[in-house]
Amino acid sequence: MDYSDKTILITGAASGIGAAIALELAKFNNRIIVTARREALLKNIAEKIQIAGSKAMILPGDATMESHGREVVEQIVRIFRDIDIAILNVGIGPPSNTLTASPEKIKFCLEANYYSLIHFFCPPYLPYETTIQALYDRPYEFPGHLVRHPHAGGLYGGQGSSEDLYGYGSGKG
């Protein structure tokens, strides 16, 4: 795949895997939109993206909030028309033990690790034509790519893993 001259959305881009992907894709003259909760870290990543030769746009916010996914997708589609690559990388730890964790902690992990995907892929209350889902339903007009960064614990249900991975993996898988 040619990774140059693309409009790329990366969630969870303030640090870790999201930041590393943003910096790697910055080498290919792209328009990279990064989002995460920590605005200061996003600004730092944006500076590095620009130094590497791509354009950067930061849209700080909380992916567990329905409105954030909607606003980000709306703004990108309004400015750039399409999203060529969406890397939905939001994730949160530390892992929780679902046998002993509070319902609030389990709900928070699910919101961060699963519902954030829904908020960006098909934001509620957004006209269908401007959702990432709609963009992917137009394969002849829009050859975009969606990358979801899951956790192996969600695929194997914690088999061979610490019981602490069940809550985290379930939300990511």
- Domain range annotation of the chain: 7-172
Contact 126, 67 (CB under 8 A): no
pTM of the predicted protein model: 0.74
From 37-46, 100-109, 137-146, the region with the lowest mean pLDDT: 137-146
pLDDT at site 66: 82
The tokens for 156 are 């194997």
The tokens for 57 are 């746009």
d(CA 87, CA 94): 22
d(CA 72, CA 158): 33
d(CA 111, CA 134): 23
Output the average pLDDT for the chain: 77
Report residue 31's pLDDT band, with 50, 70 and 90 as the boundaries.
very high
Assigned architecture for domain 7-172: 3-Layer(aba) Sandwich (3.40)
Residues 137-164 pLDDT 10s: 554 444 455 555 554 444 444 444 444 4
